[in-house]
Amino acid sequence: MTSAVAFTSVSRHFGSVRAVDNVDINIAEGEFFAMLGPSGSGKTTCLRLIAGFEQPTAGEISIFGQSAQGVPPYKRQVNTVFQDYALFPHLNVLDNVSYGLMIAGISKKERRIAAEEALELVALPGYGGRKPSELSGGQRQRVALARALVNKPKVLLLDEPLGALDLKLREQMQEELKELQRKLGITFVFVTHDQGEALSMADRVAVFNDGKIVQVGKPEDIYYRPEVPFVADFVGSSNVLPPHVTKEVKGIAVTAAVRPEAVRLGEKGLPATVRSTSFIGTSTRVSLDLGGFQMIALLPKGQIIPSAGERTHVSWADEDIHLMEQADE
C-alpha cells in the first residue's frame, strides 16, 4: 500500500525540550490515522511537521514518497483544520471557503463553484451568504472543513477540531467525519487527547507520551492489548496490576492489565474492600482497595452494588487479563 506520510527517525527539539524524539510513522494512503496522547506528548508537533509549520531537528519526512525537506506549507499536498477553526469574521461563508483558491489565483467563477460544492459536501448548502458569527459551533466546524477540502488535498490534518463542541454534537461530528473520510478516500490525520474519539474513528491509532510513540495499532489492539502500562492506563483507564499481584493470580511476575468492565465482584478471587461507588448512567463505578493496591470495577445495570466499607472479592475471566512487561529480576 502506498505511504501517504512517513517519518524516519524524526526529532524536533526546542532548546533542551525534546517535543518529538526519534519518531517513526508510516501512514497509508486513504487511512484514517489518529495521534492520541496527553498535552505535551508530541502529537500536535508531529502534525505541524507534516503541515510544514515546523521543521525537524533530525530525521526525514516524506509525503507520497517525496521528501518534505524545505518544502513550504503551501506547496505540500496537505491542508489543516485547526481547533479554533480560524475563520475570517468579516468574510461570509462562501468567501471563507474560497479564500485559498483566491490566493492561488483561481477565477471568481471557478472558486465560487468549488466553494459551493465543498459546502454541499459538508451538508451546508445555501449557507454561503452567512457570516461565521451567525453559525453554530458545529456549522463553523463544517465551514472550516469545507475550506480545507476545497483545495482537494491528498492529506487532511485535523488538530483537535471537535474540542470546542458539546458532547452530543461532538459525537455527531465524529460520525460525520468518519463518513466523509470514507466518501472522499483521502488520508485523514487526526490529533486528539480524547481516547473515545481516537478509538471510534480511526483505522489505526498512535499513542504518544513524552515525545515518543509508545504503541501503534488498530483501536481494538490499543484497547484490549496494551503493550506498556502507560497505554493501559491512558486508554480506557485500565487496572494496571503490579507484578506481585499478577504472580498471585497467574503464577508469573509481570505487569498486566484488566479493564474495569471485566472485573467481577463476588465470593471468589482476591479479597478487597469497597472504597466508594459512583453511578455513571449505564453502569456503576466501584473503587476497591486490595490491601494497598487500588482497582476499579464497572458494574452494569442490574448487578447488586456493594456499599462503601463492604468486604468482597474481585475476579475476572482468564482471557480478560493482558500480560505486558516482564518484571525485573
Q: What is the pLDDT of residues 76-111, one digit of tens each?
A: 999 998 877 788 999 999 999 999 888 888 999 999
Confidence at residue 260, expressed as pLDDT on a 0 to 100 scale: 94
Exposed e or buried b per residue across 81-105, where buried means at least 16 C-beta atoms within 10 angstroms of its C-beta:
bebebebeeeebbbbbbbbbbeeee
Taking 50 as the threshold, does the pLDDT of residue 37 lie above it? yes
Is the Cβ–Cβ distance between 172 and 201 less than 8 Å?
no
Task: Give residue limits of the domains in the chain.
Answer: 3-231, 238-326
137-149 and 108-121 are packed helices; what angle lies between their axes, rounded to 10 degrees? 130
Between 152 and 189, the higher pLDDT residue? 189
- Per CATH, the number for 238-326 is 2.40.50.140
**114, pLDDT greater than 90:** yes
How confident is the model at residue 137, as a pLDDT? 82
Confidence at 273, pLDDT banded by 50, 70, 90: very high
Look at residue 251 and tell me whether its pLDDT is greater than 60: yes
Q: Which residue has the higher pLDDT, 163 or 141?
A: 141
CATH class of the region 3-231: alpha beta
Higher pLDDT, 219 or 248: 219
Average pLDDT taken over every residue of the chain: 91
Q: What band does 68 get if pLDDT is binned at 50, 70 and 90?
A: very high
Q: pTM, whole model, 2 decimals? A: 0.88
CA distances to 87, 204, 233, 284 from 279, in Å: 41, 32, 21, 4
Q: How far apart are CA 166 and CA 151, in angstroms?
A: 29
